[in-house]
Amino acid sequence: MGVRYALDFSSRDGIVHRFFLGAATSAVVAREIYYFHFC
């Protein structure tokens, strides 16, 4: 599984996948910060 992940990372699709994964993670963190400050 780790090897497959490495291959995906080296491919264009892997980079796109990591970009969307990072964006989703950032959105979750931003939402947590928002609720922490405003609730």
The pLDDT assigned to 28 comes to 94
Entry pTM? 0.48
Residue with tokens 């990591």: 18
The pLDDT assigned to 2 comes to 60
User: Can you tell me the distance from the alpha carbon of 32 to that of 23, in angstroms, rounded to the nearest whole number?
Assistant: 14
Q: Can you spell out the DSSP letters for 1-39?
A: -HHHHHHHHHSHHHHHHHHHHHHHHHHHHHHHHHHHHH-
Residue whose C-alpha is closest to residue 8's, from 20, 39, 35: 20
pLDDT digits (tens, 9 = 90+) for 1-39: 566 666 665 677 777 888 888 899 999 999 999 888 876
